[in-house]
Structure 1
Amino acid sequence: MLSEIAYTVTFLEMTARPQRARPHAPLVDGLLLMRAEKAPLHFLRYLYDTVGRDYEWTDLHAWSDADLAAFARHDEVSLHVLHLTGWPAGFAMLDARAAGVIDLAYFGMTPEATGRGLGDWLLGTMVHMAWDRGPRKLTVNTCSLDHPRALPLYQKWGFAPVRREERRRKVAARS
């Protein structure tokens, strides 16, 4: 059964490197951040679903394999996976296809890694990694369906809201 819900999308931008320094990796055994080169689509879908299942992430489900491959394997799009003792704990995708703009297209932590402070480190690392490429601005969006700490975390790293949109969508009723 489907029900309709209302939610707010917040679009954020950053036009200068943040004042916060590049973060040092937490002293956590088995922590590893790797760029996933030409990752299989099933792996990207796994990350997306694992991170987003509790937050109604469904947009990529409508993408064909060809469309997802064209996006994810584009030379200006990079997938970075955070591993914790060998298992994926989170991921981020940077999309630099638009001239002068890098979009943090996807970012999130798995449920098992949430609340350990790793998201703050991963986001800070991604922000500085993006600014190392010399863009004019960074962008990201989040919505009221995402983790409640998502918006404050983006703002903590220097993103500022530039607009909001009210939307509605149908979601599966949970039991």
Structure 2
Amino acid sequence: MTLTNVPKGHVATIVTHLEMLEAPILAETESSLSMIYWPNPDVDQYLALFRKVGEPWLWISRLLMNRNELEAILRQPTTEISLIRKGEHIVGFAELDFRETGQCEIAFFGLVPDMNGKGHGDWMMSQVLKKAWRDGIDRVWLHTCTQDSPRALPFYQRTGFRIFGQEIGTMEDPRLAGLFPETAGPHVPLLS
């Protein structure tokens, strides 16, 4: 085994890439939640929801992105974003990326912290996979990492995704950079 020191002020992560090469048979699941398409989301509203869902897991990719670049992604006809609602409250979102012919990447998939661990993920994934597996799609894929919920990787595998690769990396700790409070991501060591 080769060990590499993580520099102070940084976070190490293992990214796991998973794929599904045929549409699964989806069980009908019930939920008090609903999913609605979110056409042309406002960048500020999108970032507020991204932060609300992703802060516990230190999601930073979209927070670091140039505003014009993010807006271009959100306006792409190949980007589809759905809101997850509980009554009138928005409690999560899913973002699908159809830029590559024959493929759908589940770019983001998540619920706000107080909705996690309550069994809503099965319903949500079922809805997302129904949207992803459309005519002409022969691969659906996503990635997760060690900064995500410890339940994420087993959940994706249980829903039919298979691992096809892993990467190891480090990044500046977003808590020390002021993007999140130091209390965010308590499962990730803070090396200040």
Q: Output the TM-score relative to the length of structure 2.
A: 0.83
- Give per-residue Cα distances to partners, 1:26-49, cap 9 Å, x unaligned: 2x2xx3210001111111101110
Q: Percent identity?
A: 28
Contact 2:29/2:122 (CA < 8 Å) preserved in 1?
A: no
Aligned to 1:73: 75
Listed as ranges, the gaps of 5+ residues in structure 1 are: none
Partner of residue 153, structure 1? 155
Q: What residue in structure 1 maps to residue 17 of structure 2?
A: 11
Aligned-residue offset at 1:73: 1.4
Pick the structure with greater CA Rg. Answer: 2
Partners in 2 of 1:5 and 1:96 — Cα distance?
30
SS across alignment from 2:9: strand
Q: Name 1:138's counterpart in structure 2.
A: 140
Deviating runs (4+, > 4 A) in structure 1? none
Q: Shift of the alpha carbon at 1:133? A: 3.8
Shift of 1:22: 4.6
Which of 114, 121, 127 lines up with 1:119 in the alignment?
121
1:141 is paired with a residue whose SS is: strand
Cα distance, 1:23 vs. partner? 3.1
The secondary structure found in structure 2 opposite 1:107 is: strand
Structure 2: which amino acid aligns with 1:17? A
Q: Where does 1:18-29 land on structure 2 (aligned, <5 Å)? A: 18-19=24-25, 21-26=26-31, 28=32
Deviates more, 1:138-147 or 1:60-69: 60-69
**2:58 is the alignment partner of 1:64:** no
Q: Which residue of 2 aligns with 1:45?
A: 47
Aligned residue pairs total: 170
Write the distance in 2 (CA, Å) between the matches of 1:134 and 1:14. Answer: 14
Asked whether the equivalents of residues 23 and 125 of structure 1 are also in contact (C-alpha less than 8 Å), the reply is no
Q: Which runs of 5+ in 2 are unaligned?
A: 1-7, 177-181, 184-192
Structure 2: distance between partners of 1:129 and 1:59: 24
Taking structure 1 as the reference length, the TM-score comes to 0.91
Q: CA deviation at 1:108?
A: 0.6
